[in-house]
Amino acid sequence: MALQPAKDSVDVGIFVRDIQKSLDFYHGLLGLAKIEELPTPFGTLHRLRYGTSDIKLIDPKTVPPAGPIGLEKQLGIRYLTFVIRDLSGLCAMLKEKGVEFTIPETQVRPGTRIAMVKDPDGNIVEFVERG
């Protein structure tokens, strides 16, 4: 039996070391709308919305150790992608705010440009502009 989607997107949960720094990045800098904050058995969940997707920042009761940072450091989910408009404008703002880029604004194929940055915990966040 195949999955039967109830919405047209996938949600992502990210355990964070410092919830305020993560909220400043995802909500403050990137502009994701904060939808709710609620307790869970493992910590407080802060739900942010991008389109129909939810980015769930979890402020854990106990902070686990961080894994290796970088795309090729371990198997598993390695980055989060936002398909956006005005990549150049976003990159300029993020540079001005001191956000660390792992890949600067780059054309990867005709009509498609990307940039990758680190969030406050070193997680890789990709921005893609097409067309």
Q: What is the pLDDT along the chain (131 residues), one digit of tens a residue?
A: 899 999 999 999 999 999 999 999 999 999 999 999 999 999 999 999 999 999 999 999 999 888 888 888 888 889 999 999 999 999 999 999 999 999 999 999 999 999 999 999 999 999 999 98
Which fold would CATH assign to domain 78-131? 2,3-Dihydroxybiphenyl 1,2-Dioxygenase; domain 1 (3.10.180)
Element (H, E) at 96: helix 87-96
Quote the pTM value: 0.93
Which fold would CATH assign to domain 9-62? 2,3-Dihydroxybiphenyl 1,2-Dioxygenase; domain 1 (3.10.180)
Residues carrying CATH 3.10.180.10, the chain: 9-62, 78-131
Residue 28 zone, left/alpha/beta (φ > 0; ψ -120 to 50; rest): alpha
